């Protein structure tokens, strides 16, 4: 099996106006272009209103564009929602689905995540499906069972390494400054890899990212963990220097 290429994905969440997004994306695109051959793929996921301007600004660059959610339908009476085809129209290649903030703020279920991922696949998008336990679930010894259940419910039929990325994001580590230990990450990523068998056509080739307070200071150690195929980065993705330092630590 070919080695899995690392993916460094920036989740901008609900941050930034047009000028900020253009500055950040153009800066990163410039660094990527100047770096020549690199050992990672880099992705930015701005808020919906910034997808078109940022997509236009980085068009033709190796910096990829993604969104933070999509609807499961192509069009219709779904006020406030955005469909997968609208994302590809803006230049997106990826979409983050089932982030814990959406599962919490919008009560998104595994079944909804699976339906969105299936719709994203149909449109040619790579779905980054997020899973992860809460602190209470970890303390109760339920982390493996919770993540296995989320994977079972959230990965749609037809998932492959080409159209699906998994992001393990322990909820207690997101935006808190707390990071899972390399040993905990290694154990969970091995668990996820084993659980992917039967749920994807080519489980050994699927990229499994770690997310949760990844910073320049801890990235190298986390990215070196077995079965960690990149990072989903929130806060540190909003500063070009920090995001670049994380990517180049691979």
- What is the token pair recorded at 236? 């540190």
From 69-77, 135-143, 197-205, 210-218, span contacting ligand PEP (CB under 6 A) = 210-218
Q: Which of 221, 153, 136, 146 has its CA nearest to residue 188?
A: 146
* Of the residues 10, 84, 211, 230, which one makes contact with ligand PEP according to CB under 6 A: 211
Q: Which of 209, 217, 206 has its CA nearest to residue 188?
A: 209
99 is catalytic: yes
Residues 158 and 192: their CA atoms lie apart, in Å, by 18
11 marked as binding residue: yes
135 is catalytic: no
Q: Which of 99, 150, 90 has its CA nearest to residue 127?
A: 99
From 65-73, 107-115, 139-147, 232-240, span contacting ligand PEP (CB under 6 A) = 232-240
* Of the residues 7, 8, 10, 11, which one makes contact with ligand PEP according to CB under 6 A: 11
Per the CB < 8 A criterion, the answer to whether 21 and 50 are in contact is yes
234 marked as binding residue: yes
Residues 67 and 170: their CA atoms lie apart, in Å, by 21
169 lines the binding site for ligand PEP (CB under 6 A): yes
Contact set for ligand PEP, span 52-111 (CB under 6 A): none
Which residues are known catalytic residues? 99, 169
Residues at the site binding ligand PEP, with contacts judged by CB under 6 A: 11, 13, 169, 174-175, 211-214, 232-236
């Amino acid at each position: 099996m070919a080695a899995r290429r690392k993916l460094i994905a920036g989740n901008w969440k609900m941050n930034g106006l047009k000028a900020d997004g253009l500055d950040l994306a153009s800066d990163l695109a410039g660094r990527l272009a100047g770096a020549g051959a690199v050992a990672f793929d880099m992705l930015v996921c701005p808020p919906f209103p910034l997808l078109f301007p940022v997509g236009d600004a980085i068009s033709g660059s190796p910096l990829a564009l993604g969104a933070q959610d999509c609807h499961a339908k192509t069009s219709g009476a779904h006020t406030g929602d955005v469909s997968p085809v609208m994302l590809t129209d803006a230049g997106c290649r990826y979409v983050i689905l089932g982030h814990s903030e959406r599962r919490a703020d919008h009560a998104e279920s595994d079944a909804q995540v699976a339906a969105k991922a299936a719709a994203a696949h149909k449109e040619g998008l790579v779905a980054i499906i997020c899973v992860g336990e809460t602190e209470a679930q970890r303390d109760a010894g339920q982390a493996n069972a919770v993540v296995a259940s989320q994977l079972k419910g959230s990965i749609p039929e037809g998932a492959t390494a080409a159209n699906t990325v998994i992001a393990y994001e322990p909820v207690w580590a997101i935006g808190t400054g707390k990071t899972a230990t390399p040993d905990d990450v290694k154990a969970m990523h091995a668990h996820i890899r084993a659980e992917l068998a039967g749920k994807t056509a080519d489980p050994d080739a699927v990229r499994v990212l770690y997310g949760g307070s990844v910073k320049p200071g801890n990235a190298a150690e986390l990215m070196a963990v077995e079965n960690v195929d990149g990072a989903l980065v929130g806060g540190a993705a909003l500063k070009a220097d920090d995001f670049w330092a994380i990517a180049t630590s691979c």
